[in-house]
Amino acid sequence: MPQNNLPLIDVTALGMGDLGDADSAAKALCQAFESIGFAYVTGHGVPDDVIEAALRQSREFFESRLDRKNSLPINRAHRGYIPLQQTHLVDSGLGRNTYPNLSESFFVLYDVDPSGSGARNQGFLAGPNQWPQWLPEFEPAVRAFMSAAEAACRRIMTGFALGLGLGSDGFDSYFTEPTTYLRMLHYPPHPDDADAEQFGQAPHTDFGALTLLAQDGADGLEVRTRDGAWIGAPHLPGTLVVNVADLFPIWTGGRFHSTPHRVINRSGRDRYSLAYFFDPSLDTVVECLPTCQSVESSPHPETLNYGKHAEQRLTRNYAFRDPSGE
């Protein structure tokens, strides 16, 4: 399978305040996401030791006894543990998948103020995070990674705003209270005799705005090109993988692409990754941006409420949220 065909972009300047260099980085970002929808980024600002510590804690959690992991089952606020082969994508953006995913997950979301108001504190995702108390370094390592990842996502969003002619703060109003998820993932080695429709993570598009991925050295991520071919996106030291999700084709009138991707862990060893999702405030209304309304853009007339959209996708894809079992 072809490897390393994704663009490699240095976004350092987007965090430095030098508009000349920032414009160059913004142009490179926009070109990448108008073509394939994925890129490797350097200069993202997330320290290597922060990534390594979070991956190490993720590995320690998934290597814990099953009874300990099961003591933190995912709750209605979408925080906690999902065992191996317990996720089945019903609404993946590409249709229903045949088999449950050959992976296990642990979710951590943004902090909630129970006494606060608004969708962030009182909506369908409001609730406590769960922490494995038998791993005292887990929570601080995860919090450090999430904080740095949010800053990196804001840096990248600045690039998109500049590249789309919105000004550097063009997306800020959508992310005043961002909906942030960290999904820690473990993929065991893919069985040699597995059916062709069995995946670690079945083909899908992400339903939100922006995804930032940290990977260990075990390959497995694959991205579908515009002509339908699958290419590998292996770990490159010093980089993070970035992709835009389903909101961006609406914002950009079809200029940016939410690209299908999947995971098949053929490395022969366990694979660990950290997927950080940076989505807008739950009350955000998403529609085509003024600077993207042109005859050259594909028509994207739909307008959606992000919170309702997220609740629908999560309910359809996670059985614990859907009491009907459908």
- Portion of the chain with pLDDT greater than 70, in percent: 89
Over residues 140-158, the pLDDT tens digits come to: 999 999 999 999 999 999 9
The answer to whether the predicted template modeling score (pTM) of the entire model surpasses 0.75 is: yes
pLDDT of residue 302: 76
Buried b or exposed e, range 254-292, using 16+ CB within 10 angstroms: bbbbbbbbbbbbebeeebbbbbbbbbbbbebebebbebb
Give percent helix, percent strand, percent coil of the chain, each to the nearest 5: 30, 20, 50
pLDDT of residue 298: 56
Q: Give the whole-angstrom CA distance, residue 229 versus residue 218.
A: 21
**Would you kindly state where each structural domain of the chain is located, as residue ranges?**
8-321
Domain 8-321: assigned CATH number = 2.60.120.330
